[in-house]
Amino acid sequence: MKAFITGAAGFLGRETVFAALRRGFEVTAFLHDADAPLPPQIRRVKTDLEDTAEIESLVLQEFPDAIVNCAAVTSLAAANADPARAERLNVALPRRLAMLANHVSARFVHVSTDMVFDGEKGAYEHTDMPLPRNLYAQTKLMGEREVLKYGKANASVVRTTLLSGNSFSGSKSLHERLFADWAAGRTTPLFGEEIRQPVSAGNLADVLVELCERPNLSGVYHWAGGEALSRFEIGERIARHFGLPAEKLVKRACYADVPGAAETRPRDLSFVLHPLAGKLKTRVQAFDELLAEMRVPAPCVAWYEAMTGRKVVRRLVKGVDF
């Protein structure tokens, strides 16, 4: 298959490129950084996706079999800081890509978020009514609706959650951000009432690519890890997995401690993963499997070795060493 992947320099986009290559796809990667560490066999197109002219031209010239959209404004803080940009990347871009995909009869796979729900219910099914609590979630929900409207039967929306794994920079995933805090001497406050289901970026990327090959699966689906945990429990288990003193590195926080948190942060965003979990070959991961994948981030190796007395062995990096 010929696949176009947007946001390919990002954490999830990069993993999606590798997942597509594993399945024998011919990949064109759209990215803002031409020097991003990606395999040499892909075609790179450096572009600003707020202006879709270049990708439109290539889609209409080459008729790809699939488009996977991993580009987005991905956080509440970033959306609040620049609402206009959030609207362009989270709403206007997926709308245009969905229209293009439908025009050339390509599969379109779009990534959304668990935060489209208000968090009052938990165990959300893909058919439950969304109710976003903040601007970021509102733009992602609007993007979903545009994709389904204009992508029609060619489009799939995958709502997902906190991404785990090992980013190239060592600063993107949940455990890498925790390590940065700890290495700087900070104890990390983590909400005890916020429930999520962490998923590895590699596992999610496999799902996105598999959906490219499954034209019978259109509409909205949920994908996450297999265990619903509070942010505090996640931090504790990560610290203990690495042999670190969890009681010194993480502390339980409450929404009441942070002004505005109760109004803007959903509490329980756990997912029901069916029907998608029963239809794909890619399987749902347990949290212990995510822990086993995690590596000490490169910027924190010296601190970790001094803290634990353990020697960190450098591992080969995809897109750099092989």
**What was the pLDDT predicted at 169?**
85
**What was the pLDDT predicted at 319?**
56
Judge contact between 134 and 83, C-beta under 8 A: no
Q: Give me the tens of pLDDT residue by residue for the chain, a chain 322 residues long.
A: 999 999 999 999 999 999 999 999 999 999 987 778 898 999 999 999 999 999 999 999 999 999 999 999 999 999 999 999 999 999 999 999 999 999 999 999 999 999 999 999 999 999 999 999 999 999 999 999 999 999 999 999 999 999 999 998 888 898 999 999 999 999 999 999 999 999 999 999 999 999 999 999 999 999 999 999 999 999 999 999 999 999 999 999 999 989 888 888 999 999 999 999 999 999 999 999 999 999 999 999 999 999 999 999 876 666 555 5
How far, in Å, are 100, 151, 171, 286 from residue 104 at the CA level? Answer: 6, 11, 37, 38
304 is catalytic: no
Q: What pLDDT digit, counting tens, does each position of 55-82 carry? A: 999 999 999 999 999 999 999 999 999 9
Question: Burial of 150 by CB count in 10 Å (0-12 exposed, 13-18 middle, 19+ buried)?
Answer: buried
Judge contact between 42 and 22, C-beta under 8 A: no
Q: What is the DSSP letter of 264?
A: H
**What was the pLDDT predicted at 179?**
97
**What was the pLDDT predicted at 260?**
86
pTM: 0.94
Beta bridge partners of 109: 68, 156
Residues 203-234: b if buried by 16+ CB within 10 A, e if exposed: bbbbbbbbbbeeeebbebbbbbbbbbbbbbbb
| Active-site residue (options: 124, 136, 150, 221) | 136
Max CA distance (Å), the chain: 58
Residue 110 DSSP SS3: strand
